[in-house]
Chain A
Amino acid sequence: MAHVNENIKSYRGFRSITLLCLVVLYAPLVIVTIYSFNASQSITNWEGISLRWYADVFTGPESEKFKVAAFNSFTIAIIAATASTAIATLAATAMVRGGNFKLRTVSFGLISLPLMVPEIVTAVATLIFFNAIGFTRGYMTILVAHIAFCIPFAYLPISARMQGIEDSFEQAAMDLYATRRQAFTRILMPLMAPGIISGFLLAFIVSLDDFIITNFVKGAGVETLPTAIFGSVKQGIKPNIMAISTMLLSISIVMVTISYFVSKSDNTK
Chain B
Amino acid sequence: MAAGAASGGSARADTYKDARGWLLLPSWAVLGIFVLGPVCMMLIYSFLTKEFRGGVIWEPSLAAYDQFFFDRGLFGDEPPTIEWTYITIFWRSIWQAGAATLLSLLIGFPTAYFIATRPEHVRPVWVFLITIPYWVNLLIRTVSMKFLLRDQGPLNDFLIGTGLIDNPIHIVNTNFAVQLGLFYSYLPFMVLPVYAAVERYNFSLSEAAADLYASKWTTLRRIVLPAVKPGVVAGCILVFVPSMGSFLAPDLLGGAKNFMIGSLIEEQFKGNAGNWPFGAAASMILLTMVLIILMFSARQQAKADKAGG
Please judge, given known A-B contacts A116-B294, A128-B45, whether A110 and B36 are in contact too, CB under 8 Å. Answer: yes
Q: Is A76 an interface residue (CB 8 A)?
A: no
CA distance A90 to B23 in the complex (A): 5
Q: For A13, what are the chain B residues with a Cβ–Cβ distance below 8 Å?
A: 110
A107 contacts partner chain B, Cβ-Cβ < 8 Å: yes
Contact of B146 among A14, A99, A237 (CB under 8 A): A237
* CB < 8 Å A-B pair total: 295
Which one of B63-71, B84-92, B278-286 is at the interface? B278-286
Residue B162 interfacial (CB < 8 Å): no
Assembled-state Cα–Cα distance A2/B204 (Å): 7
Contact call B132/A93, Cβ cutoff below 8 A: no
**Closest chain A CB from B27 CB (angstroms):** 4
Q: Are B2 and A171 in contact (CB under 8 A)?
A: yes
Find out whether the CB atom of A43 lies under 8 angstroms from the CB atom of B147.
Answer: yes
| B210 at the binding interface (Cβ < 8 Å) | yes
Residues on the B chain within 8 Å of A11, using CB? 110, 113, 216, 220
Specify the chain B residue showing the minimal Cβ separation from A175.
B2
**Which one of A100, A145, A180 contacts B34 once the chains associate, using CB atoms below 8 Å?**
A145
Question: At the interface with chain B, which of A18-26, A52-60, A61-69, A189-197?
Answer: A18-26
Q: Which residues of B contact A257 (CB under 8 A)?
A: 132
* A126: Cβ under 8 A from any B Cβ: yes
Nearest first, the 4 closest Cβ-Cβ pairs linking A and B are: A99-B14, A118-B245, A28-B144, A125-B38
Query: Which residues does B use to contact A, with CB under 8 Å?
Result: 1-3, 5-6, 12-17, 19-20, 22-24, 26-28, 30-32, 34-39, 41-42, 45, 55, 107-108, 110-111, 113-115, 117, 124, 126, 128-133, 135-141, 143-148, 152-154, 184, 187, 191, 202-204, 206-207, 210, 216, 219-220, 241-242, 244-248, 252, 261-262, 265-266, 269-270, 276, 279-280, 283, 286-287, 290-291, 294
List residues of chain A with CB under 8 Å of any chain B CB.
1-2, 4-5, 8-11, 13-15, 17-18, 20-22, 24-29, 31-32, 35, 43-44, 86-88, 90-91, 93-101, 103, 107, 110-111, 113-114, 116-122, 124-129, 131-132, 144-145, 147-149, 151, 155, 166-168, 170-172, 174, 180, 183, 202, 205, 208-209, 211-212, 215-216, 226, 229-230, 233, 237, 241-242, 245, 248-249, 252-253, 255-257, 260, 264
